[in-house]
Chains A and B, each alone.
Chain A
Amino acid sequence: MGAAKSQLTDQQLQDYQDLTYFTKKEVLYAYQKFEALSTKNSSIRTLEEMKNIPELKANPFGDRICKVFSSTQDGNCTFEDYLDMMSVFSDAAPKSVKAEHAFRIFDFDGDDMLGTADLRQVITALTKTREHSLTEEEIKQLIQYVLAEADLDDDGSLSFAEFEHIIEKSSDFSKTFRIHL
């Protein structure tokens, strides 16, 4: 604890408290956890080290999450990236912020639209287990149904506004889209 404190300045702490959904104490706790992720004495955690977080390890989108939050976009995270991630996943973050990041996580090709290719990747990642996976035909059908439900302007892909529209409708989203520090 003492060591952690000495490495973050007061100004940093204040900034972090102002700019994330955490209190100073939680920031310090996050710092400790971040430090524990790697044995090496470096300020950056690689993608593999980030996946020491059990929630990211178990998550089918683990790699994608790291990439979205990484400031270098290759999955390597600094402490600020890590804090940002945990802040978005915290209980206090509003639904809109969570929705924004969820959209970016699901948007694999980064074209700011959830197209059929993105949906296919999401569905595959979600349903793939050791024993079974959905058939190509089923996936196609699923994508078609999802678009029929959510694609309001009928352009064949979901824009952020359309995605947010689904999220707004759900009370469960902010309950499930979270990782405790």
Chain B
Amino acid sequence: MFSTHTTEETIELEEVTVQGRETYRSHTTVEFRSNTGPYENETFAGENSNHGEESEINEAGASAPFNTIRNSYQYNTIRSRKSTPAEIEKQANEVVSCLQKSHAINNDSLISEQQILQMIKALPQNLSLKRLVKSKLIKSMSEKSRPIGTLKKWRYQASMAFIKLNLAIREMMSTFELWYGSIKMINGYFGNGIGTYFKFLRWLFILNIFNFTIILLFVIIPQSLLKMHANQSFEVEDLLFGTGVLENSVMFYGFYTNSSLTIYLEKTYSMPSAYFLAFSFTYLFIFLLLFFKVARSYKETFIETSGGVYNRYAKKIFYGWDWSISSKEMAELRSASIHRELAEMLWEANHSKTSETYQATAKSSTRPWPLSLASKICTFLVRGMMTSLMAALVCGSAGLLWFSMEENWMSDLTVPVIITAMVNFMPPLISWSVKFENYKRKRSIFWMKMIRGYVVLGVALGTVPTFWLERSSGCWQNRLAQQIYHLMLLDLVLTLPLGLLIRYAKKRWLLGSGGFNVVHESLILIYLQCLCWLGQYFSPPLGLLLFLRLLLTFYLKRFELFRYCKPPNHYWRAAEAQTTLLALIFIGNSIILGTLCYVLVYVDSSTCGPFAGTTYTGEFIIERLLLIPRDSVIWNVISEMTSPVFSTAVLISMCLAVYYVRAKAEASKLMISVEREMLMWQARDKKFLLACSMSPLLGNAMRNRRYNLRTESTCRSHDRSGELDQSNPSNHSFSSQYDTA
């Protein structure tokens, strides 16, 4: 039945085959044999299928060693863990013999030591036993091992070296884990949700260190060697507005030279090439890093864990607790919140008209909505009104921004003030407005806030470059960079202290100390990072400013958190939040990259900067850097590829691919529900047969087919909840239940 499915379906299918552990394992074993790649006789242990290298546990055929181990000592050994040395010794021997019995170790030449270690590592046993097993296994392996082929030996050695290297890198990285203690403490006192924010902050901080180092080494230092700034006197207002001597320094794009730097005799260092290469490297690296991070996070959070199952209650109970909580106060709060949420859910289930059909609705992953038509319309109207109000507000402020830039009257002052106000005051306004929209679920509220806040940021950030690209005359790059510099500076000197001051005032004069607004704070981080990505092409040292800002943010926010905030009283989906943050920053990054590419190809850059002299930066790159003459084949290919026809074709084929994959996913989903149903019926059939054989009355009935069919139908329509009330943990109670029938 299963062998016809492809690998993708396999993973989904194995989820359904959860009927008793033995069947489950053997199914997954069969499954993975159908996609044997380099591992001929190896299959992945079912439960490990999602864990990369850990999953490379050797199994062979249906008598897979991992199965054998699990099944044999799951019941005999683990539950009756021994304590005396002699007994431990005995157990170890048992496990070792289990492993050795397996096909893989004895016959299939040699499996690498690493794989055995992985296998032992995953055993649910205590460490002393694992050590014993390891030493025994290694000993017996060295006794038995036969000489192996050179190629294989080389392969193992190479993979071993790779693993060792990996381990060494991990060890090195763990030494440098920044702010480890702080983040641990935050996790402990405030839960994983807020911890996610700080981890995100740390990740951005490290990314920016890397980013700035490259720019510093390859762009700023070479230019400084040539000339650092123009011969002008320095005034304080220059620092504030980025004018005067600052404008004619390495701070801004316009000052970078389009000539080459002589290093030693004939060797030269071409500034334009360095400028372009350094930036394209960092941007591309960050783009790819984000791309893979988002894809992985998305896969882990949404794809691998979806599939039509909706375990609302089981979820709350089995992982409502955050195990990293380390304070009594936080533990108390978490308990209270779990209690409240469970009570709410129960109340909802009991008071909705559809409470009996909950089981059905839970399966189809929709929630019962006990709303009348009138209240539905009312809610809809309020939501529509609020959304349009927000949209109007955003459009209005964008218009104001444009107007003040156009008038050029005090635009140095008004533009940053308007944008900073937008970024800092709109999100709280949004949070406030969402309250009236009557969203039932915490998750919808979170999404509403996040998406609206993001749109505000996008508009605020998008207006400035759009304005300057519209009128790209003179050294517009410097003007744009100055405006971004103003924004970052204003943010650095005003927003952070002001935020702290507001907190202090709230605590001092108003009642209570509010929670930590993770959504708002994360959006601010995304805004700053996007600002820096956009600005640093036109003002390379901007990265330093962001570096300082993030450093300050970490310490100030930590201070604020411990001093003025109380732990959140609701459950936070950390994994989903992390994916959302990454996705949002990735979208920002892609848009900025697109804008910069547009600047390179279509916008006149001949007036100033490293590419002065050539009309478009793109031309310089192709002709001078890549040395491709105008009428060569490659040039033709490039211009063909950028033509509308080609891009339309690409777009259409991508759409088709998405449609195909989507259809496949839908089919798998359907398959899952069918298999689930089947599983349920199978179990009921078994129960029925058990009942038949136990009860003499039904036993007789077995011979009578008509009666048989009738009872079966009553069995099937039997209310599940009724069964559960009567059933004890063991299976046997069911038989007695049918006895009485």
Contact = CB atoms under 8 A, between A and B. Distances in A.
A149 B323 contact: no
Chain A interface category by residue count: 35 or more
B312 A127 contact: no
Given A94-B122, A149-B362, A153-B679, A166 B311 contact: yes
B733 A156 contact: yes
Interface in A141-174: 141-150, 152-157, 159-173
Contacts of B342: 123, 127, 134, 138, 142
Contact of B18 (A81, A122, A162): A162
Contact of B332 (A123, A130, A134, A156): A130
B34 to A, nearest CB: 20
Nearest to A54: B326
A118 B342 CA distance: 18
Contacts of A84: 126-127
A4 interface: no
Contact of A138 (B301, B346, B573, B720): B346
Contacts of A23: 167, 170-171, 174
Interface in B717-734: 720-721, 723-725, 727-731, 733-734
A112 B74 contact: yes
Contact of A148 (B175, B359, B731): B359
A18 B324 contact: no
Contact of A73 (B81, B187, B192, B326): B81
Interface string A99-134: 111101010001111011111001100111111111
B134 A15 contact: yes
Interface string B393-436: 00000000000000000000000000000000000000000000
A38 B362 CA distance: 49
A34 interface: no
B358 interface: yes
A33 interface: no
Interface string B164-198: 00010011001100001000100110001000000
A20 to B, nearest CB: 7
Given A94-B48, A97-B122, A102-B318, A153 B19 contact: yes
Given A15-B134, A116-B728, A126-B317, 9 more contacts: A19-B134, A23-B174, A127-B339, A128-B335, A145-B358, A169-B311, A170-B319, A171-B302, A176-B574
Contacts of A26: 174
A123 B317 contact: yes
Interface in A14-29: 15-21, 23-26
Contact of B720 (A57, A99, A116, A154): A154
Question: Which residue among A58, A71, A78, A132 has the maximum number of chain B CB atoms within 10 Å of its CB?
Answer: A58
A95 B339 contact: no
Interface string A65-78: 00001011100001
A101 B47 CA distance: 13
A178 B324 CA distance: 6
B314 A150 contact: yes
Interface in A52-70: 54-55, 57-61, 69
Contacts of B134: 15, 18-19
Interface stretch (B243-251, B620-628, B643-651, B680-688): B680-688
A96 interface: yes
Contacts of A170: 305, 315, 319
A169 B18 CA distance: 13
B79 interface: yes
Contacts of A147: 724
A154 B326 contact: no
B117 to A, nearest CB: 5
Given A25-B174, A84-B126, A149-B312, A156 B723 contact: yes
Contacts of B729: 111, 113, 115-118, 156-157
Nearest to A177: B323
B731 A155 contact: yes
A142 B313 contact: yes
Question: Which residue among A78, A96, A141 has the maximum number of chain B CB atoms within 10 Å of its CB?
Answer: A96
A80 interface: yes
A130 to B, nearest CB: 7
Nearest to A84: B127
B317 A148 contact: no
Interface string B335-368: 1101100110010011000000011001000000
A97 B125 CA distance: 10
A145 B50 contact: no
A5 interface: no
B443 interface: no
A159 to B, nearest CB: 7
A100 B131 contact: no
Contacts of A50: none
Contacts of B180: 180
Q: Which 8 A-B pairs have the closest CB atoms?
A: A115-B729, A156-B727, A54-B326, A80-B127, A58-B331, A127-B339, A171-B575, A94-B51
A153 B574 CA distance: 31
Given A26-B174, A152-B19, A96 B122 contact: yes
Contact of A110 (B74, B79, B302, B317): B79
A61 B317 CA distance: 13
Question: Which residue among A17, A24, A84, A110 has the maximum number of chain B CB atoms within 10 Å of its CB?
Answer: A84
B724 A148 contact: yes
Nearest to B195: A175
A110 B319 CA distance: 20
Contacts of B725: 140, 144
A179 interface: yes
B327 interface: yes
A172 B324 contact: no
A33 B655 CA distance: 55
Contact of A126 (B81, B129, B338, B680): B338
A31 interface: no
Given A24-B171, A71-B83, A84-B127, A129 B339 contact: yes
Interface in B532-580: 573-576
B94 interface: no
Nearest to A148: B359
Given A149-B312, A156-B724, A161-B18, A58 B50 contact: no
Contacts of A94: 48, 50-51, 54, 122
A121 B321 CA distance: 14
A49 B280 CA distance: 56
A128 B338 CA distance: 9
A17 B131 CA distance: 11
A154 B79 contact: no
10 contacts: A60-B321, A94-B54, A96-B48, A113-B729, A152-B676, A154-B723, A164-B47, A166-B311, A171-B302, A180-B184
Interface in B414-473: none
B705 interface: no
Contacts of B167: 17, 23
A129 to B, nearest CB: 5
A167 B318 CA distance: 8
B9 interface: no
Contacts of A72: 83
Question: Which residue among A15, A69, A149 has the maximum number of chain B CB atoms within 10 Å of its CB?
Answer: A149
Contact of B317 (A140, A146, A169): A146
Contacts of A140: 725
A72 B129 CA distance: 12
B336 A131 contact: yes
Interface string A30-48: 0000000000000000000
Interface in B676-719: 676, 679-680, 683-684, 687
B208 to A, nearest CB: 23
Contacts of A110: 79
A16 to B, nearest CB: 8
B385 interface: no
Interface string B37-53: 00000000101101100
A175 B15 contact: no
Nearest to B307: A169
